[in-house]
Structure 1
Amino acid sequence: MAKLIKRLDLVNKLSTHELRGEFLANLDIDANGQAFLDAEEGISFVGKGKLVSSYISDKRDLPVHAEAAFDIFGYNVTEYVVDADRKAVIAPVKATELIKLQGIDDQSLFAYNVRGPLGRTKINKEIVSSIRDSARHKLFPLFHNGITVIAGKLQTDNDSIKVSDYYVVNGCQSLSALYNNSNALTDDLRILAKFIQMKPASTEASMITAFSNNQNGVRARDFKANTQPQIRLQNEFKAKYAGQYVYEIKRGEALGVGTIVSNENAGLYLMAFDLKEPWATHRKYEVFEDKHSDLFGRPEVSADRIVVCQVIIEVIREHLPQLENQLFARYVLTQYILLYIVREILDRDELAVGLLSKPENLVRDENHRGVFRKIIEAIVSDVISDLNEELKDVGDDFDYRDKLRDSAWVAQIKKTLVASHMKFIARKFIKPFKELWP
C-alpha cells in the first residue's frame, strides 16, 4: 500500500482532491457508530440498508420479444431434430425480415451473445461495403458465415419459419450492420440463419453460444500468407538456408528441417531492427495490417536480413538470464528493445553498416555466421551489464511494462547504453566490430 501511495504521488494530490474514508459493513450502524460519525467528518458509513436499496441484480431482466416470421417460399430448408424439445432449422432468410426482429435497437436481442457490436472494425467495414453493393446481394450467403438464433419456440411449414422467445447468439456484428444500413437492403440479400429450438437460458444454449463464437478464426496473418512478399521470402529461405532455417507463412503448414522463423516473428524483428520501433512490438496485429508493406515491402528485406535478426535474437535470449531484474528480462518486449540497441551500436561502425546493407556476407556462410554470433555475444553481454546498473535502483514498484512501451523512456535508455558502449570502445576496453570481423 505504501509503495502504491508513493507511485501514485497521492501526497501531492491532497491539495487538489477530496479525501474521505468509507466504512463498508453488512450490518446497519448502531448508536455508538453514529455518535462517532457525528464527530468525524472524514469518514462515511455504508451499511445493509443502503446496500439493499442500491443493489443491482446480476440476473437479466429481459423483455419478451414478439413472434417473428420469415418467408421461405421457394427455398429448401434443412432440419435436424434432436428430440421433442430441441431441433435446428437452417434456411436463407431475407435481411429485410431479420432487421425487424425486436431488440436490435436496444441490444436486448443479443443479451446471450458473448459480445456486443464492435463498431467500425476492419471486418465490419467490409460487411457494410457488401451490404451497400446491391450487385453482391445474391452472393451474400456464399461468403457470409450466417447467424445463429436460439428460440424457445420454433415452428416451420412449407412457406415460413416462426420463432418466439428468441435471441441472436452469433451474428451480432452482421445484424447490427444490416440494421444500420437498412436503406441499402433488397429482397435479394438473404442470410443463412440457423434457428435452434432450445431454452435460451439453458446450459446447452450457453454451450452453443460459446462454441459458435470460439471457432478457429481467420487472422490477418492468414490473408497475407499467399502474397508475393511472403512467398518470395519462403522460397528464398528454401534456396539459401535449406536444413538450417525455415520460414513459416501459414499456421500448421508442413515445414522442412531447420530453425523455424515465423513471418509474424520476422515482422516483429524488422519492426525493432529496421523501423526502430521496439516499443510497438506488443501490437502484433500491426505486422499483417497497417505495417505489412513497411515491414516486408522494402527491397532490402530478404531471407539474409531476417536471419541476421534471428541470430541476434537467439543471442539475446541466451543472455537474458544475466539480467538481474528477471521480471524485466521475462517481459517479451525486452528482447526487441535489446535488438534495437544492438542495431544502434552496429550503426556506429562503418564496416558493420556496410555489411548490413549486404547481410548475406554476415550469415549465409556458416563460418561467417559463427563469427557474427560471437561478436553479437560480446555486444549483448556488455549491454546487459550496463542495463543491470541502470535498473539497480528502480525499486520494487518499477512499472517495466509501461516503460518498455514508452518510446521516450526507451529512447533515453538506448542513448545511455549506446553511449556507455561507445565510451568503452574509445577507451579500448572492448574492441569495435570492425576489428573483430575477419
Structure 2
Amino acid sequence: MCNSELDQNGSSFLAGTDSIRFIGRSDLESTFVSSDRTLPTAQPAVFNISGHETSEYIVDADHSAIIAPIKASELVGLDGIANQEIFAFNVRGPLGKTQVNRDIAKSIADDSKHKLFPLFHNGITIIAESVNRTDDEITVDKYFVVNGCQSLNALYKNGRHITDNLRILTKFIQTPPASKLSEMITRISNNQNGVKARDFKSNNQIQIRLQNEFETLYPGRYFFEIKRGEDAKGVAVISNELAGQYLMSFDLKAPWSTHRKYQIFEDKHSDLFGRPSVTAHKIVLCHVIATTIQEHQASINNELFSKYILTRFFILYIVRLILESDDTASNVLNAPEQYIHHEGATNAFVSTIGKLLDEVITDLNAEIDQLADDFDYRGKLRDEQWCNTLAHEIAATHKKLVSRGRMESFGDLFAQQVALADS
C-alpha cells in the first residue's frame, strides 16, 4: 500500500507474482470514506437582547460563554431546524411525542406561563465558531445546537403559540463545533436521565464513517441510524444498536449477550464496530439474513420460543457456523458485497438462506420439542453453554449432510437460485 502510483518496475515485478496486490493513490482516493460529518453552511444569526441583562464568562482569547434570555420567535427562525441540520452535533434527534415533549408543548400553548418559562426550563446550548455581543445584540456564526433539541423542535412545531414574552435562557459558547471541547460540552451537558450510552456514540468517528458509507453504497435502500430521532427520509432503517446485536451474534459469536445492549456502546464498541471487516456491506449482510430468519421464525413449533427476540440472534449465530464450515460460502464472509449489493444477487442470496433455514428450523424443532412447553427459554437463550452446544450440533449435522451428498452446499444452492432468476 502506497500513496503514490506503481511504476513500470513494480508492474513488471507484479506480473509474475500472484500473491501480492498493490494498492496505490488512485485506489485509496476512490475508496476513501470520510469519518467527518458534511456540515451545512448557514447565515450568521442575530439575537436582540436590548433591555435584558446577560452574563459572560471568558475562558481565554478563543473560548467564552454568554447566557442571555433569547426570544423564542428568534430561536425558531434559525436555519437548519426544519431539516435538523442545526442538531448535527447533538447526541439525539427529535424523539417525537414523549411525555417530556408533550409537557413542553403544553407550556408553550399556555401564554400565561410565557414570562415564567426561564424559571422552569433548563435552556438551550449553542456552540458557535464565533460569538459577538454588543449592548443590543448577540451575533453567532457557524453555530449548532448541542443541548435543547427537544425544546427547540417543540417551539418550532408550536410556533403559532409563541409570544414576545416567551424567552429561553440560551447559552452561547464560542468554540469550534468539531473540537474536542465541543464534544466534551455536548457529552456532559446531555448527561441526564433518558440519555442512553448509544446517544454518546452518535458523534463517534467510527459511527459517522459507517453512516457515510451507507449513504455512498446504499442510497435509497438503507439508512444507518446513529442518532435516535434522525430523519431517514422514508428509507429502510438499520439502527447502530441493532447492527451491534447483529455483529455480536454473527462476528463475535455471542448471541447470549445480545440482551445487554449497553455493552454495544460501552466496553464492546471497539470490538464490534472498530474492526476493518465491519463495513456497510457486512451490516447489510447481517440484516438481510436476520430479516429472512424473522420471516421463518413462525415455523418454530414452540410459540414463546419463536417470538422471543433473542431467538433471532441465536439462529443468526447458527447460520454463521454453517457458512464458515462450508468452503463454498467463504466469499459470504470475506466479500459480502457480492451477495447483497445488487438486487438480483440479493434475491438469490435470500432464497438460499431460506433453504438453509428450512433445515435449521427442522433440527431446532426436534431439539425444542423434547423440552417441556414451559421450559425457561429466556434463561436458555442467555446461557452460553446451552447456546453453544445446540448451535454447534445443528451446524455439525448440516456439514455431515452436505459431505454425504444428502444436502447441497451453499455454493450449489446459490448457483441454482441465480440460474432460476436468469431463466
Name 2:326's counterpart in structure 1: 349
1:233 to 210, 234, 250: 210
**Aligned with 1:338: secondary structure?**
helix
Name 2:411's counterpart in structure 1: 434
C-alpha displacement of 1:267? 0.3
| Structure 1 gaps, min length 5 | 1-86, 92-142, 145-214
Instruction: Kindly provide the amino acid, as one letter, of the partner of residue 407 in structure 2.
Output: I
Q: Output one character per residue of 1:210-265: Cα deviation in whole Å (capped at 9) or x when no partner.
A: xxxxx862111111011111111111111111111111111111113322100000
Instruction: Kindly provide the amino acid, as one letter, of the partner of residue 242 in structure 2.
Output: N
Number of corresponding residues:
235
Name 2:243's counterpart in structure 1: 266
Q: Output one character per residue of 1:114-137: Cα deviation in whole Å (capped at 9) or x when no partner.
A: xxxxxxxxxxxxxxxxxxxxxxxx
2:198 to 210, 214, 221: 221
Alignment of 1:62-77 (within 5 A): none
C-alpha displacement of 1:436? 2.4
**Aligned with 2:237: secondary structure?**
strand
Task: Report percent identity of matched pairs.
Answer: 49
**Aligned with 1:429: secondary structure?**
coil
Alignment of 1:362-373 (within 5 A): 362-373=339-350
Alignment of 1:47-86 (within 5 A): none
Name 2:275's counterpart in structure 1: 298
* Whole-Å separation in 1 of the counterparts to 2:382 and 2:310: 8
**Aligned with 1:410: secondary structure?**
helix
* Whole-Å separation in 1 of the counterparts to 2:352 and 2:117: 65
Q: Which has the higher contact order (CA 8 A, sep 6+)?
A: 2
Instruction: Kindly provide the amino acid, as one letter, of the partner of residue 381 in structure 2.
Output: L
* Whole-Å separation in 2 of the counterparts to 1:390 and 1:355: 28
C-alpha displacement of 1:349? 1.5
CA contact (8 A) 1:245 1:257 kept: no
**Aligned with 1:307: secondary structure?**
helix
CA contact (8 A) 2:328 2:409 kept: no
CA contact (8 A) 2:326 2:399 kept: no
1:330 to 282, 307, 326: 307
Alignment of 1:116-155 (within 5 A): none
* Whole-Å separation in 1 of the counterparts to 2:357 and 2:194: 39
1:282 matched to 2:259: yes
1:378 to 355, 364, 372: 355
CA contact (8 A) 1:229 1:297 kept: yes
* Whole-Å separation in 2 of the counterparts to 1:223 and 1:300: 23
Name 2:335's counterpart in structure 1: 358
C-alpha displacement of 1:320? 0.4
CA contact (8 A) 1:268 1:287 kept: yes
1:257 matched to 2:234: yes
Name 2:393's counterpart in structure 1: 416
**Aligned with 1:220: secondary structure?**
coil
* Greater radius of gyration (CA): 1
CA contact (8 A) 1:249 1:263 kept: yes
Q: Output one character per residue of 1:334-369: Cα deviation in whole Å (capped at 9) or x when no partner.
A: 100000000000001123123311111111111111
* Whole-Å separation in 1 of the counterparts to 2:320 and 2:264: 20
Name 2:289's counterpart in structure 1: 312
**Aligned with 2:232: secondary structure?**
coil
CA contact (8 A) 2:302 2:373 kept: no
RMSD: 2.7
CA contact (8 A) 1:245 1:260 kept: yes
1:244 to 221, 234, 250: 221
* Whole-Å separation in 1 of the counterparts to 2:407 and 2:270: 38
User: Residue 397 and residue 257 in structure 1: after superposition, are their counterparts in 2 closer, same or farther (change >3 A)?
Assistant: closer
Alignment of 1:197-212 (within 5 A): none
User: Residue 322 and residue 88 in structure 1: after superposition, are their counterparts in 2 closer, same or farther (change >3 A)?
Assistant: closer
Q: Output one character per residue of 1:190-227: Cα deviation in whole Å (capped at 9) or x when no partner.
A: xxxxxxxxxxxxxxxxxxxxxxxxx8621111110111
Q: Output one character per residue of 1:292-330: Cα deviation in whole Å (capped at 9) or x when no partner.
A: 010000111000000000000011000000000011111
* Whole-Å separation in 2 of the counterparts to 1:290 and 1:216: 21
CA contact (8 A) 1:323 1:388 kept: yes
Runs of 4 or more above 4 Å deviation: 87-91
User: Residue 255 and residue 393 in structure 1: after superposition, are their counterparts in 2 closer, same or farther (change >3 A)?
Assistant: same
CA contact (8 A) 1:242 1:257 kept: no
Name 1:27's counterpart in structure 2: none
